[in-house]
Amino acid sequence: MRKLSVDEMDRMSVEEFRESEKFPFVIVLDNIRSLNNIGSFFRTADALRAEKIVLCGYTQAPPHREITRSALGAEMSVAWEKCPSAAEAVKILKSEGYKVWCVEQAEGSVLLQNFGPERGVPHAFVFGNEVEGVSEAAIAESDGCLEIPQFGTKHSFNVSVSAGIVLWDFVRRNIT
């Protein structure tokens, strides 16, 4: 066994990515403060072919050197837009037919392993601030909260790690 070279991976170009069919999900970022986390979201969105990222509140938008440092150019391939607040983004996405789930530890949350996304229905996933989490206003507008089970002494993952876990699970359920 050996590692593949970049040429052997046969990756699509930015233009091919933009034209490709996407998995039916949108990422909503609710006041993410770390530019490295924002860049990581762009990489994850590219790797899992998200429809777009909605940058809400004070979440910074590209171009920015620190975003590019962790996005490695994914900010050029993934569609994105700004919205004043995550609550407003949730309202808009719901009006467009999306099921919207906040990734948050909340009363009545659904554990990720028990989450059964509706096939054929587009979904949006809201990820919150590194300290405060998803805003109460966004939670109030959403269809529910998803929680990732944790078994150690800490009660949270880094927000971009949470995205990788939740979004891979959603995509996995859509390709099997």
pLDDT tens digit sequence for 56-104: 999 999 999 999 999 999 999 999 999 999 999 999 999 999 999 999 9
Question: How big is the chain by its Cα radius of gyration, in Å?
Answer: 16
Residue 41 has a pLDDT of 98
Token representation of residue 21: 């069919």
Q: Does domain 7-175 have CATH number 3.40.1280.10?
A: yes
Segment 27-54 shows an average pLDDT of: 98
Segment 31-37 shows an average pLDDT of: 98
Buried b (16+ CB within 10 A) or exposed e, 140-167: ebbeebbbbeeeeeeeeeebbebbbebb
> Measured between alpha carbons, how far is 127 from 170 in angstroms, rounded to an integer?
15
Helix or strand or coil: residue 34? coil
pTM over 0.85? The answer is: yes
Q: How confident is the model at residue 176 (pLDDT cuts 50, 70, 90)?
A: low
Give the model confidence (pLDDT) of 107-156 as tens digits: 999 999 999 998 889 999 999 999 999 999 999 999 999 999 999 999 89
Domain extents for the chain?
Answer: 7-175
Taken as a whole, the chain contains a residue count of: 176
> Measured between alpha carbons, how far is 88 from 83 in angstroms, rounded to an integer?
7
CB 26 within 8 A of CB 50: yes
